Amino acid sequence: MAIEPGASGESARYTLRAGDQRLDLNARLGEPLRLAWTGAIACTHCGRATKKSFAQGYCYPCFKRLAQCDTCIMKPELCHYFEGTCREPEWGERHCFQSHVVYLANASGLKVGITRGTQVPTRWFDQGAVQALPILEVDSRQQSGFVEVLFKEEVSDRTNWRAMLKGETQALDLVAERDRLLARLEAGLANLRERFGAEAIRLLDAPPVTLDYPVLEYPTKVVSHNLDKTPAIAGTLLGLKGQYLILDSGVINLRKYTGYEVEVSV
């Protein structure tokens, strides 16, 4: 799904992408929707047919070969570029050696996260955050990983997706949380600045952001659909949050099925 911020005071805009087709999901709220997996899966990188999707959309050879599927993508502090063992050094130079933002978000409670500067605010919508606050900017993905590891001593980097989908998240004072965490982690941040340079980790003075989603009704009990077990699902579309469709029959994380050939009917 593609997600774009709504106009001022409006919910995010969701578009379902299936091949060359586009479906405005906001316009389908309150209407029936059916998804049926044909049984086919294609690698999103090379296009070859695969019986199983790895890392949300890749065949096994690409999963093992591509830098974007390496462990350091999930754990940037494990970057091994400077050891000369990056799977694709040129790809790493383009994607990892650019500014990254360390942020606080509130999707199911306070969490810390990292993203490329170009992915703000897309990353927050993908996670279903209702509040977000950029706090630091760094020069590389590896540096963002070291900062995130430091912050994880005090705050989680996980989202409770079930709580997020119930819509019961309580508002937080993210500015106060930022100031509290920066004070507690001052020594650790100083060590990182000493290692990478005083200007490598920069404090941001950005306002908190509130994000809104098109949801008619949140589920009181979260039941998850699984296309691998039930290839056809249907229901009335009640909402869109994160990468989830909220149907009256259950919820489904569409990102999990990247590369699946799915027939959509309304």
pLDDT at 49: 98
183 lies in the same domain as 223: no
Residue 56 in domain: no
219 lies in the same domain as 187: no
Residue 242 in domain: yes
Number of residues in the chain = 266
131 lies in the same domain as 165: yes
pLDDT at 219: 96
160 lies in the same domain as 220: no
Q: State the first-to-last Cα distance of the chain, in angstroms, to the nearest integer.
A: 16
pLDDT at 125: 97
Residue 112 in domain: yes
103 lies in the same domain as 189: yes
Residues of the chain with pLDDT under 50: none
169 lies in the same domain as 225: no
186 lies in the same domain as 107: yes
125 lies in the same domain as 184: yes
Residue 150 in domain: yes
pLDDT at 255: 94
Residue 172 in domain: yes
195 lies in the same domain as 219: no
118 lies in the same domain as 182: yes
Residue 26 in domain: yes
pLDDT at 19: 72
Under 8 Å between Cβ of 220 and 208:
no
Using only the alpha carbons of the chain, give its radius of gyration: 20
202 lies in the same domain as 131: yes
24 lies in the same domain as 9: yes
Which pair of structure tokens corresponds to residue 49? Answer: 């047919």
pLDDT at 17: 84
SS3 27: helix
What's the structural domain count of the chain? 2
Structural domain for 226, as ranges: 2-47+214-265
Cis preceding-peptide flag for 121 (omega within 30 of 0):
yes
Residue 55 in domain: no
pLDDT at 20: 80
pLDDT at 7: 82
Residue 69 in domain: no
Torsion (CA) 93, 95, 96, 98 in degrees, nearest 10 = 90
Q: What is the pTM of this model?
A: 0.93
pLDDT at 9: 78
